[in-house]
Amino acid sequence: MSMSIKTVKDASDSKRGFLKLLFLSVMTVSFGGVIYPIIRYLSPLSQQQASEKIEILKDEVPDGKAKFFTYKGNPAVVIHTKTGFTALSAVCTHLGCIVKWLEDKNEFQCPCHAGRFDITGKVLSGPPPKPLPQIAVAESGAKIVIG
């Protein structure tokens, strides 16, 4: 007698367990079906990069001047020095502000916390912990190829 009761109980337990599992799976799938589109919708679009390389006319960057552009989605700068062209990331390594080029002092300054960088991106003074990363530059005819 007690055996049969136990068997019945077990059966109903496994049925309940199965239904619980089924319910939880349906809930999970439904929840995911709502959350997934929302996360995709809110995620920034992958930047459309026609090519990794950027071409700039040499005439656009006269001696001593700097030109700012976007490289892989981030601000970058190319400067024309006596030794040629140098390209650097224009994002300050301290807290991400965009540095500006001071032509008369021949250095970069970050307007946020007065970090200073020299022409090669090395930190001169202020809070930045690291130099500005360099970006490869090549000259080809009347153009500068960056990247």
Query: Up-side HSE of residue 61: CA atoms within 13 Å toward CB?
Result: 24
Coil, helix or strand at residue 84: strand
Question: What's the min distance (Å) between Cβ of 38 and another protein?
Answer: 7
| C-alpha torsion angle, residues 12, 16, 18, 19 (rounded to 10) | 130
Question: What's the min distance (Å) between Cβ of 51 and another protein?
Answer: 21
Whole-angstrom distance, CA of residue 23 vs CA of residue 114 = 59
Question: What's the min distance (Å) between Cβ of 112 and another protein?
Answer: 27
Is residue 63 a contact partner of residue 80, using CB atoms and an 8 Å limit?
A: yes
Taking the least distance from each CB to another protein, the nearer of 37 and 73 is 37
Taking the least distance from each CB to another protein, the nearer of 43 and 140 is 43
Q: Return the residues of window 28-57 that contact another protein according to CB under 8 A.
A: 37-38, 40-43, 45
Is residue 116 a contact partner of residue 125, using CB atoms and an 8 Å limit?
A: yes
Taking the least distance from each CB to another protein, the nearer of 40 and 82 is 40
Per-position x/- string for 102-131, each x denoting binding to another protein as judged by CB under 8 A, each - no binding: ------------------------------
Taking the least distance from each CB to another protein, the nearer of 11 and 24 is 24
Whole-angstrom distance, CA of residue 109 vs CA of residue 124 = 10
Q: Which residues bind another protein (CB under 8 A)?
A: 37-38, 40-43, 45
